[in-house]
Amino acid sequence: MDIGGWLRGLGLERYEQAFRENEIDLRVLRKLTADDLKELGVAAIGHRRLLIDAISALTAEGEGAAAGCSASHARPTGVG
């Protein structure tokens, strides 16, 4: 996933450099807290809320995709 593109899509491209400098990738992004965002320089509460909500949505999408993937690979029972 392109974190810079994701930030631009949220209208928060101003934080792209900080995310790059701190090597924030999808694995790290999903675990960021409000305090982490403060350390990254996201001072505005509104921006932190937008990011936390968007991160939550990404996490929910990832979990839904993983559940759908495992369900699609499940073997039917009673077929033989």
Is residue 79 assigned to a domain?
no
Nearest to 55, CA basis, from 74, 27, 79, 76: 27
Residue 5, phi-psi category: left (phi > 0), alpha (psi -120 to 50), beta (remainder) = alpha
Is residue 38 assigned to a domain?
yes
- Tens of pLDDT along the chain (80 residues) come to 899 999 999 999 999 999 999 999 999 999 999 999 999 999 999 999 999 999 999 989 877 766 665 554 444 455 44
Domain that holds residue 25: 3-71
CATH number at residue 59: 1.10.150.50
- Our count of domains for the chain comes to 1
Is residue 80 assigned to a domain?
no
The pTM score is: 0.76
How far is 48 from 36, CA to CA, in rounded Å?
10
